[in-house]
Chain A
Amino acid sequence: MTITVYWFLLTSIVMFCIGLYGLLTRRSLIRMLLSAEVIFNAALLALLSVASISKAFGPSGGALALLAISLAAAEVGVIVSVAILMFRVRESLDVYKLRELRG
């Protein structure tokens, strides 16, 4: 049995579905962030799986993956600081209560 790119893609699709399920069913900001991170990991795996098929696109896929990882790290910093601020203001992480912060 040989492992083709399809098996990597299948892993990423299942991971994406798990993240999507978590994102749609949770109301806690941190839970939603964690689910979004699962989706990010799935997307990254899909990107590198497809890029690895061709020698010509291999380095481009790697470069895009490096950019995506660094931006994801930045995004985590912002959302966690929003969550901490929200918790200090509302004592809750419920995203429904975040709507009340609208100006």
Chain B
Amino acid sequence: MNLQIDPYLIVFFLASGGALISALLVVEHKSIVYASFFLALLGTSNAALFVLLGYPIVSLFHLVVYVGAAVTFILFSVVMLREAPLVEPVARGIALIAALEVLFLFSVGFLPLLKSQSAGGVISLMDISDVLLNKYSFALIVSALALATTMIEAITLARKEVSES
């Protein structure tokens, strides 16, 4: 009996299972600090899935920029905030129906891709930077401007003095 286990399969199930459990804990955990921590775990699991799809550069970028900067920023910011759990009891049923409807529609909608395999190979940094500079150079400039604008906006909002009421 051949009991060979494909390592790709194990990594996929570990990463996707980890991502889904982390996503559930981000939404349902009582503490926002722990919820932010699980968002970091979700980002890490997602990065593992990107590697399986053949995008190691995007995976590293996701780990460094998203998990390393954005989620860590949330994690350290929420420590300063005190939160009472605010849940909309009426919306729970509607949200559950909406989520199930989306799940059904998309899982049926993507059925034609049931047998589609990933093209294989690794998308290198050279390929991505080539496309980014030649095909999406305008989008690159716009996103750089957007980043600069949001940085100024964030600094202005954070430094805004609150008037005594």
On A, residues with C-beta under 8 Å from B are 1-11, 13-28, 30-31, 33-35, 37-38, 41-42, 44-45, 48-50, 52-55, 58-67, 69-78, 80-85, 87-89, 92-94
Say whether, besides A77-B154, A78-B157, A62 and B49 are in contact (CB < 8 Å): no
Inter-chain contact B35/A34, CB cutoff 8 Å: yes
On B, residues with C-beta under 8 Å from A are 6, 8-9, 12, 16, 19-20, 23-24, 26-28, 32, 35-36, 39, 42-43, 46, 49-50, 52-55, 57-58, 61-62, 65-66, 69-71, 73-74, 77-78, 80-88, 91-92, 94-96, 98-100, 102-103, 106-107, 110-111, 113-119, 121, 123, 127-128, 130-132, 135-136, 139-140, 143, 146-147, 150-151, 153-155, 157-158, 160, 162
Residue contacts A-B, CB under 8 angstroms, 19 given: A5-B117, A16-B102, A19-B23, A20-B99, A26-B27, A27-B88, A30-B74, A41-B42, A48-B53, A53-B116, A53-B117, A62-B58, A62-B127, A63-B132, A65-B55, A66-B128, A72-B70, A73-B69, A88-B162
Other A-B pairs, 16, CB within 8 Å; known A14-B20, A52-B55, A73-B70: A3-B8, A4-B115, A4-B118, A8-B52, A11-B20, A18-B26, A19-B27, A20-B102, A21-B96, A55-B121, A62-B55, A62-B131, A65-B55, A66-B61, A66-B128, A84-B157
Say whether, besides A24-B91, A41-B43, A64-B136, A30 and B81 are in contact (CB < 8 Å): yes
Contacts of A76 in B (CB 8 A): 70-71, 73-74
The listed residue (A38, A54, A70) touching B27 by CB distance below 8 A is A38
Contacts of B143 in A (CB 8 A): 67, 70-71
Inter-chain contact A10/B107, CB cutoff 8 Å: yes
The listed residue (A3, A5, A18, A26) touching B99 by CB distance below 8 A is A18
- Expressed in whole angstroms, the minimum distance between the Cβ of A100 and any Cβ of chain B is 12
User: What is the bound-complex CA distance between A11 and B18, given in angstroms?
Assistant: 11
Inter-chain contact B94/A24, CB cutoff 8 Å: yes
Contacts of B88 in A (CB 8 A): 24-27
